[in-house]
Structure 1
């Protein structure tokens, strides 16, 4: 049997039609004045390629010389650098087309106009694809849309559509073709890009609303993202004819999987919703969980990001914050009381020590003066009179260890100024004289050694 006879007739017919269109197009180019235009287009590509290196180096050097540029400007510079060849070719093509249109017949610049149109269309598709957040979907949409606009400009749109539609598989009554998949990706990608822009706008407005608490802002933003992106994907697939009734079976399978294999994941998701609703913690709060002390950077669906003073970022599962004991230093307000313990010698006046300790705390910048510090005697130790100094701060995010250290230094300085001593434990060692029996044993031992 001939291998050609084994090919699907639909694919064979579509391929033959596309090849026939390509043959007609190539023959139309084999005309002297069109060959001259092809040579001109190739010359424009070469000049663009040479000029691109010079422009790219200067653009990169200029960007590196700038300081403090926002991220969006740096991102735009990178995008411009990546599309520099296409931009220069499109610009030079349109300039050449305009000049030739003025000095010669329109037919002498027809192919250059086509090349310029293709360059402009591909440039538009490339920039539009950047609006899609997902890199994989962005590349697929950009590639599919680029092929489509080139085929449309060259007049191959009917043949390309027929060929892509012939590449199909059938599942019962459901037919899935390459054209359907590409359409779904393009339509869904565009809808996702629109949903992304709407999400950014909604996020900005929600964060600027002072009547919404930080935890409810996070919950509202997550709900908007779920609604817009989920709706975009659903509408995109439905618009190109995908049958979504099978999702009912899939959702049942997912439910079984959630019940058995994803218990921890579901628990963290539910815990995250509870945290957002009861407002027990919110972004910016200072918390302690075990040995972890830091402030909440963001609330996620599965975990909470806690940043410590040394720059480490801990991803704590939401379930741990619900079931474990959490110290929230700024739950109802930002005021935090700190305690310092110290001791002075018994010879020092305790009334003066207490006064000096309060004065020392007042010298430190971060200690609040509107909430007075206090100092109390808490006991008589073996070597010192023991005190506790209590003071208040309202910026725990700036650290606790450093403020304690500053207060200790202030105590040291003020005690030195007023001759207050900080004692250290002293021990007396008393050597007892040996008894006569022990002396006799020692003398007998020495005689035996001799």
Structure 2
């Protein structure tokens, strides 16, 4: 029967092998010879590339500023290109020097230069490919992981380093999580989530173009597709690197119970968001009033609704408040909104003439509907010094504002009354100074 292998002993052997290789390389660099010459050539090429990066970067920047009408994706490509001009110059120069030295001397005397050129080219390709990952922290993790892996691979030490990182592991019973497995999982999950994002965006665009689906159902369908895509990507990524989740079942259950008590509001908002999308009581584009907030729904998120007011403020209202609170939806069943304004005229003015002038004045204001709902004017009472009226009119674009349309109607009434001699009474008081009888 064979003796069991000691993981710690394997870890020490791997670490010793890495140290031996590193020591041998640096010893060769310190001693005069072709290896040292190659290192000096690489350093010289790096300095030249840095100078070319500064000069060519300035030229590229001036050229871009002289152009107009560029799309955002084109500008992003130029920015990424400018950042990596030095590395691109180094890859090109090192490749040229390597090709020349391959022809005029022994291949071993240009091995390090060729390796540096290859690594620079691979690093540039990885940097541009990593831009597909939109999440910045995840993009940096994926980029550095691929850079490190490519470097170790071309240095022919990837197997030794992999064994070293696999020896750094956390073991809990049957569950084992090594540093190598963790890094691999992050990279694989990052790539799968990027693919899932592209797939969900393509599906979302198709759903939004379908006019047969209501706006609220479009939001619900898009959220469902995104959740399914990202969930599948995470699950496949975990399974692809061989992580067994059954060992964490008990721990995840306990964590889930704790999160259930601590995230009650979050879960309530999530459920409320689904209910809002299903019953279609509120949908993107609706104009609502909630307390002192008046605006239109810009987006419906999983946790909150974005309400934009006329003054440009954007309120993030939790979905639970939209379910439990009293919400005025100005455009729930139709787009028509009725507005009322009150005014009074003197008793000496003909009320029939006043009503006609008020209706005509309101009908002449932009945004006030003349069909199918016409403005109407009624007497609502006889006041102390005026005959009181109510003028009712309809609009169908509340997103354009309510205060401004009321102001325009009031102004039209003022102009009409001034033109036809209709007076608007207002309280007047007289102050009499009584003389002192004893003075």
Fold-level match, TM-score > 0.5?
yes
Match of 1:17 in 2: 17
Backbone CA RMSD of aligned residues: 2.8
After superposing the two structures, state which structure 1 stretch, 10-19 or 48-57, moved more: 48-57
Name the SS for the 1:245 alignment partner.
Answer: helix
Give the deviation of 1:302 after TM superposition.
1.4
- In the alignment, the residues of structure 2 paired with residue 12 and residue 255 of structure 1 have an alpha-carbon distance, to the nearest angstrom, of 39
CA shift in 2, pair 1:372/1:48, >3 Å: same
Q: Report the equivalent of 1:4.
A: none
Q: Does residue 312 of structure 1 match 2:316? A: no
Cα deviation for residue 401 of structure 1 reads 0.8
- Asked if the contact 1:383/1:426 (under 8 Å) is kept, the reply is no
Q: What are the superposed Cα offsets for residues 191-238 of structure 1, whole Å, 9 maximum, x if unpaired? A: 111111112211211111111111111111111111111111121112
Q: 1:54 to 1:42 in 2, by over 3 A?
A: same
The equivalent residue for 2:154 is 153
* Contact persistence 1:285–1:295 (CA under 8 A): yes
Is the alpha carbon distance of 1:27 and 1:254 closer, same or farther for their aligned partners in structure 2, counting shifts above 3 Å? Answer: closer
Q: What runs of 5+ residues in structure 2 fail to find an aligned partner? A: 1-6
Q: How many angstroms does 1:86 deviate by? A: 2.0
Residue in 1 that maps onto 2:175: 174
Deviation at 1:136, TM superposition (A): 2.5
* CA pair 74-345 structure 1, distance change in 2 beyond 3 A: farther
Please report how far the alpha carbon of residue 280 of structure 1 lies from its aligned counterpart in structure 2 after TM superposition: 0.5
* Superposition pairs of residues 17-56 of structure 1, within 5 angstroms: 17-26=17-26, 32-56=33-57
* Alignment size in residue pairs: 431
Partner of 1:393: 395
1:380 aligned partner: 382
Structure 1: unaligned runs, 5 residues or longer:
1-6, 434-438
- The residue that corresponds to 1:343 in the other structure is 344
Q: CA deviation at 1:271?
A: 0.7
Residue 139 in structure 1 maps to residue 140 in structure 2: yes
Alpha-carbon distance in 2 for matches of 1:405, 1:246 = 68
The aligned counterpart of 1:352 is 353
**Any idea what SS the aligned residue of 2:132 has?**
coil
The answer to whether the 8 Å contact 1:258/1:266 transfers is: no
When residues 163 and 428 of structure 1 are mapped into structure 2, their CA distance, relative to the original with a 3 A threshold, is: same
Q: Which of 323-332 and 46-55 deviates more?
A: 46-55
Aligned residue for 1:130, secondary structure, equals helix
Alpha-carbon distance, 1:28 to partner? 6.5
Residue of structure 2 equivalent to 1:212:
213
Query: Partners of 1:285 and 1:261 in 2: how far apart?
Result: 33
How far apart are residue 31 of structure 1 and its match? Answer: 7.5
Does residue 121 in structure 1 map to residue 125 in structure 2? no
| Shift in alpha-carbon separation, 1:342–1:184, aligned structure 2, 3 A | same
CA contact (8 A) 2:28 2:36 kept: no
2:175–2:247 contact (8 Å) kept in structure 1: no
TM-score with structure 1 setting the length: 0.87
Equivalent residue, structure 2, for 1:278: 279
Cα distance between partner residues in 1 of 2:360 and 2:273: 45
Deviation at 1:309, TM superposition (A): 0.8
- Tell me the secondary structure at the aligned position of residue 390 of structure 1: strand
- Cα deviation code 1:308-364 (max 9, x no counterpart): 111111111111111111111111222212111111122222222222212212222
Instruction: Provide the residue aligned with 1:225 in structure 2.
Output: 226
Report if the CA contact (8 A) 2:169-2:179 is conserved: yes
1:49-448 superposed matches below 5 A: 49-61=50-62, 69-98=70-99, 109-370=110-371, 371-427=373-429
**Of 177-186 and 239-248, the range deviating more from structure 2:** 239-248
Determine helix, strand or coil for the equivalent of 2:380. strand
**Structure index of larger Rg:** 1
Q: How far apart are 1:249 and its partner, in Å?
A: 2.3
CA distance in 1, matches of 2:125, 2:161: 21
